[in-house]
Amino acid sequence: MTIGEVIKKYRKSKGLTQEEMAARLGVTAPAVNKWERGSTLPDVALLAPIARLLGITTDELLSFRDDLTDEEINRYLSQLQEDLENKDYHEVFLSAKKKLEEYPNCEKLLWQAAAILDAGRMTADLPDADSYDGAIFGWYERCLRSEDEKIRTQAADSLFHMYIRKEDYEKAARCLDHFSLQDPERKRLQALVGGKTGKRPEAYRACEELIFTGYQHIQATLNDLRILYMEDGDHEMARKLVEVSSAAAAAFEMGRFNEVCLGLDVAVWEKDVPWTARLMGDILESLGTLGDFAGSKLYQHMDMKTVDPDLTAGIRRELLKSLEDESYDYMRGNADWEKLKSGATA
């Protein structure tokens, strides 16, 4: 990156306009514009003030080296890992520090090298492991300013676990602000902090909610996958996925109804008369267990609502009514099916 590109990148990360930056430095906005376009360079006397304003070092400001390619990064990281296994940690650390100073804007290298060095000092069981905190914390903190969400999240995760090791739970919790609100990992780590800081009921509930929503996501994905196989005419895999879905419902204690209802569309698709009759009978028989998951100890800290009996009755009516649908024409004459239909009429 050129010095102009470095200025532009960190100016934007600070939320400064060219006019605001110029005012703070005592120069004109066109001057800042020319720096960023590469038309001119800042005066030497302005380098330190620019660096301070942008929250970077003059080394970072003056780094004109391009970022490494992914191949070069991976090659270097492999060598770094090998060196940690075979050489003195401090020697390897200083060498890596020099490399990172050479490429201060290569955020992917910065985060991954920091993570490797952080893990390396733990593995080496160094008596002075804490003496490296300043540099490693600093590298992670720099990655938190990255425009790449993945790098920000990874750095925040690494910082989180460093603070957890040091039992600084307040700072660990602040790291979670860099996770997306939709990221389930954020909620899991919040539960971890809660468990360490006396908020155990909240920690229990957060974990149980993750299990419950995780189950729903698993079942939705299994359903999508089964439909794909059905569209491609793969009967073996369609049945396999019904088995897996049923086993998942049992493992997550979702109740008998949720275990047996998942194969009906495959049975209808295959026009499997005995299987269809058995499944429909099991579904009608197990309707009373529709909300059994609310009583599972897996979710005992969650505020689960019981299933409205009117809802269950409505589902039963619709199921019995569906026995006459054209989609079940292939079931005509089956004794078990006719028995279900006669029960519906009664």
Percent of the chain with pLDDT over 70: 97
State both tokens at 115. 């993570």
Report the distance separating Cα 322 and Cα 27, nearest Å.
Answer: 78
Give the pLDDT of residue 344.
64
Per-residue pLDDT tens for 184-240? 999 999 999 999 999 999 999 999 999 999 999 999 999 999 999 999 999 999 999
For 81-93, how does the pLDDT look when each residue is reduced to its tens digit (9 = 90+)? 999 999 999 999 9
Tokens 């066109």 correspond to what residue? Answer: 30
Task: Give the residue among 35, 1, 3, 6 at the shortest CA–CA distance from 18.
Answer: 35
Q: Is the pLDDT of residue 104 over 80?
A: no
Place of tokens 């790291």: 175
Q: What is the distance between the alpha carbons of residues 341 and 273, in angstroms, rounded to a whole number?
A: 15
Q: Supply the mean pLDDT for the chain.
A: 92
Distance, in Å, from the CA atom of 340 to the CA atom of 280, rounded to the nearest integer, reads 9
Mean local confidence (pLDDT), 149-168: 94
Domains of the chain, first to last: 3-61 (1.10.260.40), 149-198 (no CATH), 213-345 (no CATH)
Q: List, in order, residues 6 or more apart from 123 with CB less than 8 Å away.
A: 84
pLDDT in tens, 323-334: 989 999 999 989
pTM over 0.75: no
> Can you state the angle between helices 18-25 and 47-54, rounded to 10 degrees?
130
Helical packing angle, 200-231 and 235-251, nearest 10°: 170
pLDDT band for 158, please (50, 70, 90 cuts). Answer: very high
Q: Is the pLDDT of residue 2 over 90?
A: no
Give Cα 137 to chain centroid, integer Å: 23
Taking 60 as the threshold, does the pLDDT of residue 346 lie above it?
no
d(CA 238, CA 266): 7
- pLDDT at residue 271 tops 60: yes
- Provide mean pLDDT across the span 24-43: 92
pLDDT at 345: 57
Most confident of 64-68, 121-125, 174-178: 174-178
- C-alpha 288/C-alpha 260 separation (Å) is 13
DSSP 131: G
